[in-house]
Every structure is written in C-alpha cells, then in structure tokens.
Amino acid sequence: MVKDLREYFQTLEAAGSNDVLRVSRPVDPRGFDVAAILQQLENRGDRRVVRFEKTLDLEGRPTDFSLVYNLFLTRELCAQAIGHPRGAVKMPLSLEFARRGEEHREPEVMDPSRAPVKEVVLSGEAVNMTTVPMFRYHEQDIGQYLTMLAVMKDPDDGFYDISFCKNMYLSPRRLTVSLQRKLSKHLLTILEKNEERGRPTPVAFILGHHPALSLGASALTTFGNDDYGTLGSFLGQPLRLTPSTSLGDDFLVPADAEMIIEGVIPPHAAEIQNPFGEFSRYYQPQVAVPYMEVTAVTHRRKAVIQGVFPGHADHFNLGSLAKEGGIYSEIKRVYRGVQAVYLPHSGVGRYTCYVSIKKRREADAKLVGMVPHLHVHHMQFVVVVDEDVDVFNEEDVIWAVVTRARLHQDINVLKGMPRADRVVIDATVPLDEPFPRKAQVPRQAVESCKLEEWLG
C-alpha cells in the first residue's frame, strides 16, 4: 500500500488506539484558535494527535481543508511513523533513525495524470493564497505562517535538497521563504548558486504527507545527498514523485502529498519576516529573508494541511530524533564505546546533547563531546556520562554532573565559536584518581523480588 498521510491515519485509527482527537468546530486563522487549543491540551497533559476538521481561510470563508497537529508529540508516535515498535523508543529508536539516515531508496516517477496531488491544479492568476488556512501561534507573531518542507534542486548536480522552512503570507501570490543569509544551510547554497548566475530559484513546498517524510527531512545529511532517497528510506518504500506543474517536467515533487506550493525566488529578493515564536521558545528577531512568487498550488480534494506547534514537544522531537541517530553514527565512526545519545526537550531538542560512553581512557569524554558540536550547528551544551547513567533520564544526567564533574577541569568552554561559545561537560568518573563507588541495591535482589506478593 502506498504510504501517505491518509494511510497513516487509517493505521493509527485501525489499531483502536486513542491517539487522535478530532475538533469539529471551524478554526479561524485570523485569531489564535489553533494555538489556544493546542496550549490547553498541553497544559492538561493530553498527548494526542489533533485533527481540526473544519477551517476558515484568511478572509474568514469556510474551506475544504482540514489540519493536523501533534504528529510528532511523543517518541511513540515518531516510532509508529517509521514502522518501529512503540515499546522501544529510547536508544533502539535513535539507532533505527541512524540506520534509515544512511540508507537510500530510489524514488519512483509517475505520470501527473495519476498523481493524487494533482486532483486540483491552480496556476498563474488562479492562485490565491488567502484561500489556504495559515496561522499565528504567539502573541507577537507578525503574520500568518505555514511550516513545511521546502524542496530545491541543485543547478549543477541535479540532486534535491529538502529542509524545513516557514513561510509568511505577504499577498495572494507571494510568501516569504525563511532562509537567513548569515546561517549556512543547504537550501541557501542552492539559492546563492542561482543568484550568482542571475537566475530565479525554483522551489516547491510540501504541505502534508506521511509523517515519516518530515522525520526523514531532519536526518543529518551532507550537501549533495539526494534527499528524496533519504525520505524513501524513512518511509520504508520508494517515494512516488511526479513532474511539477509550473517548474518544468524535470523538477519533481511528491505525488502523494496533500498539497504542493510551487514558486520561484527572484535573485536577491528580500522582504521582512518575524517576530515569530520559534523552537527556542523565544521570538526570532525581525529579519530580511527571500520571498517567493507562487506559480502554482496543486492539492488533493479535501487536503489535510500538516502543521507544527512551534516551540513545543511536537517541534522538539521533529528536530531531535533523527539527529540523535546521526550523532550516534558520527561518534561511532571515531569511538566504538558510544552507548546512547539523547537531545532533551529542556534543550529544545537542539541545543543540548547527552552522550553515554564506555570510557577507556581519561580523555575519551572530552573528545567524544566535540562530535555533536561538529555536526549540529545549533548545538551548545554536550554532557558526556558513563554507561551506568541513563541519558534519557535527565535527573540521572544532572546527578552525574554534580557528583562526577570536576568543575575546574571537566567543564570545557570552547570560546570564539560562531554565534556563541560551546560547552562540553565531562561528567564521567575520573580514571586517574580514586573515586567513590555508586551505591546500588543488589541487582539479583531487585530482579527476584515479586512486588505484587509484598503489596498483597
């Protein structure tokens, strides 16, 4: 069966699970309906996927589109999305992400006449982005945004690069494209290659697809990787592609997406974007970013638009899970004793990394602690602990820091790095001096204890 967002919902609901909450009253993008509902659910500890079945557009008119949020709210949901057991969501899940990130499945190309995403095709003057529901989430957000996957094609080598991007509504056929010039990113490299040649940059945005695609788009890949192949690996089957409507037959887009927004970014185009409450849980500053002229919108009938609640657990997992696996693989290349890697929500799934190792030499932790900084540009704090510490248990990690790190030599500040200093904390037991032994209840006593019998 072809995997797409609709097939995913069927799987989720067929299991008889209580994973999906449906909201049937229409939500209005001119207010904060969606964010307020998601915030209330979070406050209650409700961790379900939310389907907003009725929406209004930017002019307050009813639409045929529905919305889905919280697809990545828990590690269990992320496991289900890639077909991994929901009962093994700590390191086995990270390792599965690492494995998928290194695999490649060649996509299949299908004729547009059979592509579900071409059920409705709007191009040129027929495009009107006010008919698409897009939302504000935080009080000072400057406008309505879409949060989605951007696809660009390298003009030299023809590979596709895919990354998360947000778009702010500017006018019926113009959206911002959230690429900041001062941050080095793959999509920006492609944009700048085209600009050097005085050419516009074709871009397509994927708005709704199987959640494995979004998880795969977070994988740590090098520039030059054909990301459609990586998405196929996460999907567990070749991704079906089809020629774009307005960017030429040789620009391919996912055939089973809910909606594709196609456009071109004129060379050196710049428009204001932000404030926008981002993953850091702070407002991103106002900044000049490129904008796109929307050339076509194609979608399924009754398309389901996928959103992310910025700066909340949904957003954190989306940024962290694939990176945990990627960091694990990178450490493994240089250090066989790595045991587990976790990017906690307290570090918004990006800034902080906990790594456990089977330490053999005194310098191991400090060397291993450098690796996450080399591969994740947001990374700020890396804490390396011994294998007896559960990196997925933050209390355990902090306990190791306060009892094992020698403050004068184990907190290493890497000064003069881009944007901010970086930190590596070695919270492992020192091998070069006497150190107390961790107190433990005898394992055999714990394992043989039948608690039910004691509690009656």
Partner 1 sequence: MPVREDIFWVTCPRCGEKFYCDNQLRHSSIKLMCPKCRHRFLDSDSPEIRE
Cβ nearer to partner 1, comparing 287 with 367:
287
Q: Is residue 280 near partner 1 by the rule CB under 8 A?
A: yes
Applying CB under 8 A, among 287, 367, 398, 411 the residue interacting with partner 1 is 287
Applying CB under 8 A, among 45, 87, 182, 333 the residue interacting with partner 1 is 182
Whether the bond into 275 is cis, omega within 30 of 0: yes
Q: Taking contact as CB under 8 A, which single stretch among the options 55-63, 234-242, 270-278, 319-327 is the one that binds partner 1?
A: 270-278
In the block, tokens 């004793």 appear at: 337
Within 10 angstroms of residue 394's Cβ, the number of other Cβ atoms is: 17
Applying CB under 8 A, among 10, 286, 346, 403 the residue interacting with partner 1 is 286
CA atoms within 13 A on the CB side of 101: 24
Q: How far is the CB of 265 from partner 1 (least distance, A)?
A: 17
Q: Is residue 170 near partner 1 by the rule CB under 8 A?
A: no
Q: Is residue 324 near partner 1 by the rule CB under 8 A?
A: no
Task: Tell me the C-alpha distance between 206 and 65, whole Å.
Answer: 15
Q: Taking contact as CB under 8 A, which single stretch among the options 16-24, 225-233, 282-290, 331-339 is the one that binds partner 1?
A: 282-290
Q: What are phi and psi of 375, to 5 degrees?
A: -115, -15
Q: Is residue 214 near partner 1 by the rule CB under 8 A?
A: no
User: How big is the CA angle at 195 (ends 190 and 200), to the nearest 5 degrees?
Assistant: 85
Q: Is residue 435 near partner 1 by the rule CB under 8 A?
A: no
Applying CB under 8 A, among 25, 282, 403, 435 the residue interacting with partner 1 is 282
Question: What SS3 state is found at 357?
Answer: strand
Total residues in contact with partner 1, by rule CB under 8 A: 22
Which residues, in sequence order, are CB contacts of 179 under 8 Å at separation 6+?
Answer: 165, 185, 187, 188, 191, 289, 290
Applying CB under 8 A, among 2, 121, 122, 272 the residue interacting with partner 1 is 272
Q: Is residue 420 near partner 1 by the rule CB under 8 A?
A: yes
Q: CA dihedral defined by 338, 344, 348, 352, rounded to 10 degrees?
A: -40
Q: Is residue 410 near partner 1 by the rule CB under 8 A?
A: no
Residue 404 zone, left/alpha/beta (φ > 0; ψ -120 to 50; rest): alpha
Which residues in this chain contact partner 1 in the complex, by CB under 8 A?
Answer: 140-142, 180-182, 270, 272, 275, 280, 282-288, 351, 378, 380, 419-420
